[in-house]
Amino acid sequence: MFFDLSDKQKMIRSKAREFAKSEVGPTAAQRDEEERFDRGLFDKMGELGLTGIPWPERYGGIGADYVSYVMAVEELSRVCASTGVMLSVHTSLVGWCLYTYGTEEQKRKILRPIAQGKKLGAYSLTESSSGSDAKAMRTTATRDGSWYILNGNKIFVTNGGEAEIYLVFAITGAEQRSKGYSAFIIERGTEGFTFGKKEKKLGIRSSPTLELIFDNCRVSKGNLLGEEGEGFKIAMSALDGGRCGIAAQALGIAQGTLDTVIAFANDRKEFGKPLGHRQAIAFKIADMATKIEAARLLTYQAAWRESIGLPYGKEAAIAKLFSSDTAMQITMDALQIFGEYGNTKAYPVERFMRDAKVTQIYEGTNEIQRLVISRMVLAD
C-alpha cells in the first residue's frame, strides 16, 4: 500500500490550507456570531479551483480526485466548519449527482458553472415527515405535458436561499414504492419556488439552513435529472459521497480543536510548568492525535476508493461514523482542558464543539450509519 500524496494533491491541500488561514479563519468567529453567510468566500474558492476539484476540465473542474477534495474540506473545516459543509454539499451532493446522472447538456449548462464556482448548489431531500425515512416524503411532481408541477416543502436545506441551483426530490408515482421518486434541477427564481423559515442553529451558524416551498412550481422535463423513477437511487447513492464530505468536515473540526489545545497547553503554565507537561493533559492530547490519525486514514481510504471506481459505501459510512464521533469527543475533552476558558468565546473550542454535534446527525444519523455498516458486514 502507498500512502504518499501526489504533487497535485499536495498542491491542492496547500492551496486550501493557505486560503483557510488567510481568508476564512480570521472572520469565522464573527460570521458564526452574526449567523452571516459570506458569498465572497465561495467566489474566491471558485477562482482557486476549489469548487470543482473532482470534475474534468471540460465541465469546469480541475481534473483532480476525491482525496484532493476531502483534503480541501478538511482544511476549510479546520478553521470554519460552516465553510467546509458549504463545499461538501456543493460538491458531494449536487455536483456529483449532475456529473453522474446528468445529460451532456445538463453537464455543460449546469455542472460547468457549479464547478467554476459561478453558481452555488443545494441538495433538498428532507421534509418534516421524512428524515431518516426518505421514502416518507410528500412533495409531489405531477406530469403536465412537457412540464412537471411541484407542490410541497423541503426543510434543513444547507446553502438554502444563497444557492442558485437546487436538486429537489419529489414523488412522481406513489404506487411504485422506491421507483416512485424523481430528481429535479430547479433554479432560484423559478415561479412557484420560494423560501420559508431560516433555522437558528446550535452550530454551523454561518451556513444558511432554509425551508423551500413549492406552490404549483412548473419545471421543464429538461430539468429532470436521470430518468423518471430514479430519484431514490440518485438520492441514496449521492449520500455515500456526502458521507465522505462530512467525515472530512468532522476531521477538520477535530484537527482544528487539537491545534488550539496544543497552543494552549504550550502557552499556559500551572505550578511553574506548561500545562502540556501534566500527564493527565499530555495523555488526552495523545489520545486526540491517535483518533484524528485513524479518522484521517478512514476518510482518505473512502475517498481513494471512490476516486478509482471501487465500491465505497461501507467505507464512507465507517469514516463518517468514526470521524464525527471523534470530533464530538475531542471537542468535549478540549472544553475540559480549557476549563472555564472553554466555556467562553475567548477561544474557538466552544464553537468547534457546537459545530461537531451536527456531523453526527446529517448525511444520515450515526444510528443510520451503524445500520448501513452492520447490514453490509452481515451480507459479506
Q: Of the listed 127, 211, 350, 363, which one is catalytic?
A: 363
Residues 6+ apart with CB under 8 A from 26: none
CB atoms within 10 A of CB 343: 12
Q: Is 363 a catalytic residue?
A: yes
DSSP secondary structure string for all residues of 157-172:
EETTTT-SEEEEEEES
Radius of gyration over every alpha carbon of the chain, rounded to an integer in angstroms: 21
The long-range contacts involving 65-68, CB below 8 angstroms and separated by at least 24 positions, are 65/9, 65/303, 65/304, 65/307, 66/241, 66/244, 66/303, 66/304, 66/306, 66/307, 67/5, 67/9, 67/300, 67/303, 67/304, 67/307, 68/8, 68/9, 68/12, 68/13
Q: Cα(316)–Cα(240) distance, rounded to whole angstroms?
A: 6
DSSP assignment of 306-364: HHTT---HHHHHHHHHHHHHHHHHHHHHHHHHHGGGGGSTTSTHHHHHHHHHHHTTSSS
List, by residue number, the catalytic residues.
363
